[in-house]
Amino acid sequence: MAEAEDRSLLRNSLWRLAQVLGGGGLSAIFLFIYTAALDKADYGIYGVALSVAYLFEMFGAFGLRQTVSRFVAKERGAGDQGRLRAYARSALRLAAGFATLSGLLYGITMWLFRSSFGDWATVLLVLVGLRIMAKSVTFVLQGTLEGSGHFRRVSATALSIDLTQLAVILAVLPGGLSIVKVFVIETTLAALGTTTFLVQVYRKVLRSWQKVEGEPDLSRETFWFGLPLMLNGLAGFLYGRVDMLFVHAYLTKEEAADYYLMFRLFDFPLIALGAYVLVLSADMAHALGKGQSQRISSLFWRSTGMGAMFGLGLASLYFASTFVLPFLLPEYSGAMVLMRIAAPLLVVKCVAQVASGAFMVSLGRPAAMASLTALGGVVNVTLDLILVGPYRAPGLVYSTLIGHTVMGVLTFLFVLRGIRMLPAPPEVQPV
């Protein structure tokens, strides 16, 4: 049984890895197209706009991707299809409401700060607001399918949408690319993705838009589990992406473009690890439903060890790439300096991402995860305020390196303590 579950974990991880490697590769292509086709100052605005959009996407998704994936996987392990569908239906209702609210709040925010974005304010208000709503719902639909074990379907669909976006970008490129065209394409493809995943959830999980007789309403339970995860996402903005706002406020648009390029190149390899984390989280919830505490402990040590080795390799490649990229992107020499400072952080991030993203959620510790992330956010913002003046962009990277290292160690120790407190399986309990 354990061998079969290990094969399932490996198979699902490979599908997710294929998705993120394909999607990450395409994102890298988009990155180079945008840096080449857009004015550097416009690319800086694009980076700031997406960083702000991320904050509202986290609110719109409301932590429901991880929530529904956990509950659906757990009920699948327990064999309760009624509760499985009830969790999926509850999460979808909540997602629709929060996605709409998030889009409206983004619109209000952009209107209040429209002077910071000049001629692009109206475009960002409308197009990015719609993109946020579509992305927020899509996250929840993907979590439902992942919890149900349909990783291949999620991966194939997401990759198809990314390929479609590349085809459209290449078709538009000869006529010139602008921020307006980029966001029109991205928003349209985001809506297409939401529609496609909604159809798949209906066919494979819900099978009916109406509640089945006797099906419980689990909206309240879903809400309260998702709330700390949403707060964790918002705190995560302070933990990492808030730096883009400091760049926008204190530095030039060209420095903002350098910082965003560094950040995007840093983020690519972590997306690949995120593929394994999402699959591992669902597998942990499934094991928890079956009471397999020994399997959870074993996977913790194996996965964090793998994360450390993976991070070491990524840090080496990331650092080495700074001597090659200047030939491809000569205007972004400032980004290479930032990348060399940030490289060691990849080791810490890989271990912490496995410990936090997979185990804290599956063990039912979302509030603790949110608290640790919020603490990290406070540390990061405090260091940003201290270091951005004298050191400018490198100071923001130093603050991230220090804050993430401290919080990564604390997260690892907290998860280790939680795993040691799991009850022993029935077969090894004393009589």
Regarding predicted confidence, which is higher, 425 or 290? 290
The residue segments making up the domain with residue 241 are: 2-422
Place 23 in a pLDDT band, splitting at 50, 70 and 90: low
Task: Give the contacts of 225 (CB within 8 A, at least 6 positions apart).
Answer: 63, 67, 70, 71, 366
Kindly tell me if the per-residue pLDDT of 431 is higher than 60.
Answer: no
Kindly tell me if the per-residue pLDDT of 6 is higher than 70.
Answer: no
Regarding predicted confidence, which is higher, 305 or 171? 171
Place 265 in a pLDDT band, splitting at 50, 70 and 90: confident
Place 425 in a pLDDT band, splitting at 50, 70 and 90: low
Place 272 in a pLDDT band, splitting at 50, 70 and 90: low
Kindly tell me if the per-residue pLDDT of 287 is higher than 80.
Answer: no
| Average pLDDT over every residue of 269-293 | 66
How many domains does the chain divide into?
1
Question: In this structure, is residue 69 part of a structural domain?
Answer: yes
Question: In this structure, is residue 427 part of a structural domain?
Answer: no
Kindly tell me if the per-residue pLDDT of 318 is higher than 80.
Answer: yes
Instruction: Write the pLDDT tens digit of every residue in 370-396.
Output: 777 778 778 888 888 899 888 888 998
**Residue listed under structure tokens 């603790």:** 368
Question: In this structure, is residue 431 part of a structural domain?
Answer: no
Question: In this structure, is residue 430 part of a structural domain?
Answer: no
- Three-state helix/strand/coil letters over the chain: CHHHHHHHHHHHHHHHHHHHHHHHHHHHHHHHHHHHHCCHHHHHHHHHHHHHHHHHHHHHHCCHHHHHHHHHHHHHHHCCHHHHHHHHHHHHHHHHHHHHHHHHHHHHHHHHCHHHHHHHHHHHHHHHHHHHHHHHHHHHHHHHHHHCCCHHHHHHHHHHHHHHHHHHHHHHHHHCCCHHHHHHHHHHHHHHHHHHHHHHHHHHHHCCCCCCCCCCCCHHHHHHHHHHHHHHHHHHHHHHHCHHHHHHHHCCHHHHHHHHHHHHHHHHHHHHHHHHHHHHHHHHHHHHHCCCHHHHHHHHHHHHHHHHHHHHHHHHHHHHHCCCHHHHCHHHHHHHHHHHHHCCHHHHHHHHHHHHHHHHHHCCCHHHHHHHHHHHHHHHHHHHHHHHHHHCHHHHHHHHHHHHHHHHHHHHHHHHHHHHCCCCCHHHCCC
| Average pLDDT over every residue of 249-270 | 80
Instruction: Write the pLDDT tens digit of every residue in 155-207.
Output: 889 889 988 999 999 999 988 888 888 888 999 999 999 999 999 999 888 87
Average pLDDT of the chain, as a whole number: 79
| Average pLDDT over every residue of 82-104 | 88
What is the Cα–Cα distance from 325 to 333, expressed in whole angstroms? 9
Question: In this structure, is residue 394 part of a structural domain?
Answer: yes
Question: In this structure, is residue 163 part of a structural domain?
Answer: yes
Place 44 in a pLDDT band, splitting at 50, 70 and 90: confident
Question: In this structure, is residue 41 part of a structural domain?
Answer: yes
Kindly tell me if the per-residue pLDDT of 340 is higher than 90.
Answer: yes
Question: In this structure, is residue 428 part of a structural domain?
Answer: no
